[in-house]
Amino acid sequence: MNLLNQPTISNNGIVRPTYAEIDLRRLTANYRAIQQHVAPANVLAVLKANAYGHGLVEVAHHLARLGVPYLGVAVLEEGILLRECGITTPILVMGGILGNQIPLFLQHDLTITASSVEKLTQIDATAAEMGKLARVHLKIDTGMERIGVHYYSAESLLETAVNATHCHIEGIYSHFANSDAADLSYSQLQLGRFQQVLAFYEKRGLPAPPLRHIANSGAILQLPESHLDMVRAGILLYGVYPSPEAARTVPVQPALSWKSRVVYFKVIQPGHPVSYGSTWQSDHMVRAVTVPVGYGDGYFRAMSGKAQVIIRGKRYPVVGRICMDQVVVNIEWDSAYNGDEVILLGEAENGVAIRCEELAAWAGTIPYEILTNINTRISRVYIT
């Protein structure tokens, strides 16, 4: 087992004991399982929001080594960073753009999302001025109402694309709103709308439509008819299912574990409240430990009174309010020592686990927000 990018060492030579551990072997297995499930469609690996908390640059390099054909990010800055770090794989920036950003897309060979006739015209004109050929994917809104030309007025965008002189229209795509739900009727409606738009190419007698993609993680699992030429694997790639309702048709395992260590042990007398607001106290003497993690790291304060951690293979409750940098754990009368590993998210050797879905339930949110809120104060350690 090789550990890359060890946790950051501070000026006094002490390593902070709270870190995220990324198992790249699991990421590899997840990618290959998705690839096999959707074949012959290709897989675009979604790396937005710091690769769902897993580390943008490190994950991109790993996926590039695997031969992933396409990467996806949300904003221009993410794409530029990957180019500056040596990633040469095609990168689709899926968010909306401003006209003054277009030269940066072209300078860094990033694929642009054209979501309107006006945007596509700007892209074509800028590429002509710079003497470049812009790589473009057209965005169709089939029912999300975020960005993209509406499906019922998309023909003008497609006509403009046919006549563009400095754009390579490589792809056309849309996005599902509810593909991870048990009821797939709205997703099927969206897919039908997308297919209506794609009929333009046959009506015009064009040889073939551009690269077609609409399937996200939920649709990868539940809507095989939507896989088309390419799918966009987001949270599923990292081993977390997009919702409790989504069918588990692709076997994946979480690639990220979040760990810390005991830094303080104490005995708490009955009637002595713990942490801010004095919201919890025991009616009997207990042993407790302090763990250096808090909402300043993305360990949500909303989990106060609900969260649990694993110490020595056993789950224990976090008691009192979660602080910015520390939490207190009640171990009753069990034993724990300074330096003992604390699993905040992940699995112990005996199989006892805390899943991302549990943290999300405790915080009243979704797994996506748990992963993407593990912030940069938490160092990432990579297992290969």
Using the 3D structure, point to which of 178, 204, 238 is the last residue of a domain.
238
Task: Identify the CA nearest to 213 among candidates 203, 225, 227.
Answer: 227
Tokens of 177: 């709103």
Q: Does residue 30 sit within a domain?
A: no
CATH code, domain with 180 = 3.20.20.10
Q: Does residue 91 sit within a domain?
A: yes
Q: Which residues, given as ranges, of the chain have pLDDT below 50?
A: 1-14
164: left (phi over 0), alpha (psi -120 to 50) or beta: beta
What is the per-residue pLDDT for 15? 75
Residues 314 and 174 in one domain: no
Residues 85 and 165 in one domain: yes
The pTM for the full model equals 0.93
Tens-place pLDDT, residues 312-343:
999 999 999 999 999 999 999 999 999 999 99
> How many structural domains does the chain have?
2
CB within 8 A of 244, min separation 6: which ones? 357
- Just list the catalytic residues: 48, 276
Q: Which residue, chain included where needed, has tokens 């330096």?
A: 339
Q: How far apart are CA 126 and CA 146, in angstroms?
A: 25
Residues 234 and 104 in one domain: yes
Q: How far apart are CA 136 and CA 267, in angstroms?
A: 62
What is the per-residue pLDDT for 4? 42
CB within 8 A of 203, min separation 6: which ones? none
What is the per-residue pLDDT for 7? 40
Q: How far apart are CA 348 and CA 342, in angstroms?
A: 9
What is the per-residue pLDDT for 2? 39
Q: Write the single-letter amino acid at 231.
A: V
Q: Does residue 78 sit within a domain?
A: yes
For residue 6, give the DSSP letter.
P
C-beta neighbour count of 302 within 10 angstroms: 13
Tokens of 376: 């940069």
Residues 96 and 48 in one domain: yes
What is the per-residue pLDDT for 209? 86
Using the 3D structure, point to which of 238, 273, 293 is the last residue of a domain.
238
Q: How far apart are CA 270 and CA 268, in angstroms?
A: 7
Residues 233 and 271 in one domain: no
Q: Which residues pair with 266 in a beta bridge?
A: 288
Using the 3D structure, point to which of 238, 266, 285 is the last residue of a domain.
238
For residue 173, give the DSSP letter.
E
Pairing of strands 42-46, 264-268: unpaired
Residues 211 and 89 in one domain: yes
Residues 233 and 277 in one domain: no
Residues 234 and 270 in one domain: no
Residues 156 and 294 in one domain: no
DSSP string, 252-311: ----EEEEEE--EEEEE-TT--BTGGG-B--SS-EEEEEES--GGGT--GGGTTT-EEEE
Tens-place pLDDT, residues 368-382:
999 999 998 999 999
- Which residue range(s) make up the domain with 118? 40-238
